Amino acid sequence: MDSQASYDLSGAVAIVTGGARGIGKAVAHGLAAAGASVVLASRSGPELEAAAEEIREGGARAVALVTDVTSQEQIDRLVQFTVAEFGRIDILVNNAATSHLAPLLEFKEKHWDRIFDTNCRGAFLLSRAAARRMIDQGRGKIINITTVGAERGSVGMGVYNASKAALKMLTMCMAAEWAPYGISVNAVGPGLTRTEFSRPLWAHAERAGEYLSAVPKGRVAEPEEIVGAVLFLSSDQSDFITGQSIYVDGGYLAT
């Protein structure tokens, strides 16, 4: 069944960070197919505009704005741009992320700072800025893209996993504080997904084999398979759900 066809987001306005490729691009397409107007944000200019153009070619409304979520100034610009373009913000998908594979004993502070600034601080700053608009509207949906690594330790991924675990907890705290304003905040945690971002993992035979041996479904996810959970949490069908994490992992965390 087409997951987009199950949800009607007509009239909604969504921001998707990390929207130029991978999961973010798939989510932006899914939101647009469900009727939302979409603002795609990323540091990747040409790819970002191409992703927005693909959505427009399908008949939906989409615009792109190059944005670094580690910059408060650029976050404010993104929110102002979205409101100027579409008049409101109904949905925010915090998907922008970065990583660095290295053992903890060798991990450099500059990589730590970059990962936490992007994956956690950036998501917080943008969520706060969007929430202020959503409060005026009386409702809103924020979806943070985390990972199964927020629940499990793994070699070489310690700092990335820690940043996503922090984002999971931040999701719960934002949900608790902002529920009285009609804002729902939830997380979607993908398992290993076939994107360029995670290529060092799924394209490495030994690493992929070790991971997949613990996945009951026995394969890597495709970006489009993450979209359904995001659409559900963006829709009014999830209005009484907040502070939760949905893992799209082929059963990995069940083993």
Positions annotated as catalytic residues are: 160
The helix-helix angle for 158-178 and 109-116 (nearest 10°) equals 30
Dist CA 162 CA 166 (whole Å): 6
Dist CA 7 CA 26 (whole Å): 16
Block residue for tokens 């670094």 = 68
Q: Taking the alpha carbons of 167, 126, 224, 141 in that order, is the dihedral positive or negative?
A: positive
Are 222 and 207 in contact by the 8 Å Cβ rule? The answer is no
Q: Characterise 19 by phi-psi region: left (phi > 0), alpha (psi -120 to 50), beta (else).
A: alpha
Dist CA 112 CA 209 (whole Å): 27
Q: What does the longest C-alpha to C-alpha distance in the chain come to?
A: 51
Position 90, amino acid: D
Strand 140-145 and strand 91-94: the pairing is parallel
